[in-house]
A and B are shown apart, each in its own frame.
Chain A
Amino acid sequence: MTAIETHDLTKYYGDLCAVDHLSLSVDNEIFALLGPNGSGKTTTVLMLTTLLRPTEGTATVCGYDCATEGDMVRKKLSYVPQDMAVDIRLTGRENVVFFAKLYGVADPRAQADEALAIMELADRADDLVKTYSGGMRRRLELAQALVHEPAVLFLDEPTLGLDVAARKKIWEHIRKLRSRGMTVFVTTHYMDEADRFCDRVAIISRGSIMAIGKPKTLKAQLMKDVITATISGEFIPFELGSIRFLGRKEDDVSFTAENGREALPLIAEALVARGMKVHSLSLHEPTLDDVFLNVVGSSDEPRSFNDQQFRVMLRRRK
């Protein structure tokens, strides 16, 4: 049975369409919903965890309907929300035992001890959470979530606000859970993390999925190299032979080409010929950022009407 399935899952907040006909199938993997702030990630997770009723469409978790079989769905999942919520006046162990009891596990204390050990919190388990660092609190939330060995784990931006080392550690733990057989549905706006640690990603923008697949496959849709130029001046998108324009992020414009070294001078010349000033050029292998740029057109948040028009124009060109 598929862990998570959605068909045309849609949520309107008044007139605003936060999630737009999302259809997904996730099973036995670390699946990342990747997108900038406000793209609809949290809204999607809330619908899947039975905390929000969809306007339209259906979602199932382990075969149970999220809208009509909420009780069964909640038995199968664990949910760690975007904003950390652990009781700082309780100890780490108390926090986890409390959840173990609410999940109704057979031996709350033993299960809690195991979960704390997996999250490497055993030696600090009896300290008040007040004394924990941000990364430890996140791990404590993971311990709470895995104490009943859920089939599906929902993590909403698990690395938000953590430093680099703590993030890496969280991801290592998520991989560990995956290897224990859990399906992990995670949201993030960090492209590099999704790239490194997730089996499959869906790029979401304004509530719609723009691309979905293994990071490697997605990157392979671009050509071998990506060239990014930092420019000033009026930019009008163009293509040069086999060199393809990818998108623009503030003053950076990106292109993709089979042979980046040869493309560099061509791009520089073309930019200058079109009246722009080129400040720097760089060459790198495709990243998910580039994929995002390619499918969304521009990775900065909409600012002005012109910006919108620019994007519409880009879409038409494709």
Chain B
Amino acid sequence: MKGIWHYMERDLVKWARGRVAVITLLVMPAAWLIFVGLALPVRFTGNYLDFITPGILVMTMLASSLQGGSLLMFDKILGFLNKFLALPSPRENILFGKILFITIRGVIQATVILLIAILIGATILSPLQYGMIYVILILFGILFSGLATTLALYIDDHDSYAAVNTLISMPLFFMSSALMPYSVMPSWMRSIAMVNPLSFAIDAIRSVGLGEVPLMQMGLLFVTGGLVLIVCVQVFRNMTV
């Protein structure tokens, strides 16, 4: 267990020292929030900022998680992974350390987005509601960082990784309920958006904002996240014996 923490600590310190990376990961979601939330002429709901903030929060987690997979890929290419695998610390700790770091990093970034949203006029919620939002974001982060680290085990160069990353994140984001409510979507898009895990998380955060407790969506995220972790550990074991 301790090993997970030490692996996480290494990535966290390295990340915190590379200021450019911190800023670039935040710029995109912040720009979306400000330009789309405040400036877009189309409005589907009363307070579009309140409507779009959950989508941007989830998008931040998604971008951070998918990008995070490249950390494991680089560890693999640069020979760190082999060094770690030869250590007495249980090998799965490498994986869980990565997922923990990526999720923590995502939560830090989402917090910044949340603060910006409040600053520019989003409705302030109760501590319990924020608590639930964080649980949803963490479940979502584990799901996608698990997916990204599994992918990273198969991919050996940065360009392919970036391509796969875009290939996954773009359609996922646009085919979700992030930008518009289901009621205004064309029907083909609605059916995709309804089964998109991004929508589970976004809808869940929206229901929290409306004072509901979205147990169904949270349960779905929990179960898919668990399944992804099981697959991830299995792939990792197969590849490293």
Residues of chain A whose beta carbon lies under 8 Å from any beta carbon of chain B: 46, 49-51, 53, 71, 74-75, 77-85, 87, 89-90, 94, 98-99, 101-104
Contact = CB atoms under 8 A, between A and B. Distances in A.
B86 A94 contact: no
Contacts of A89: 13-14, 17-18
Nearest to B240: A51
10 contacts: A49-B86, A50-B86, A51-B82, A53-B241, A71-B88, A80-B83, A102-B7, A102-B84, A103-B87, A104-B2
B85 interface: yes
Contacts of A71: 88
B83 A83 contact: no
A74 B10 contact: no
Interface of B: 2-3, 6-7, 9-10, 13-14, 17-18, 78-80, 82-89, 240-241
B80 A98 contact: no
Given A53-B241, A87-B14, A90-B13, A81 B88 contact: no
Given A85-B80, A89-B18, A101-B2, 12 more contacts: A51-B82, A71-B88, A74-B88, A79-B82, A85-B82, A85-B83, A89-B17, A98-B10, A102-B7, A102-B84, A102-B87, A102-B89
Contact of A83 (B7, B78, B87): B78
A101 B88 contact: no
Contact of A102 (B6, B17, B79): B6
A51 B14 contact: no
B88 A85 contact: no
A173 to B, nearest CB: 19
Contacts of A51: 82, 85-86, 240
A84 B82 CA distance: 11
B204 to A, nearest CB: 36
Contacts of A85: 78-80, 82-83
A58 to B, nearest CB: 16
Contacts of A99: 87
A81 B89 contact: no
Contact of A81 (B17, B82, B241): B82
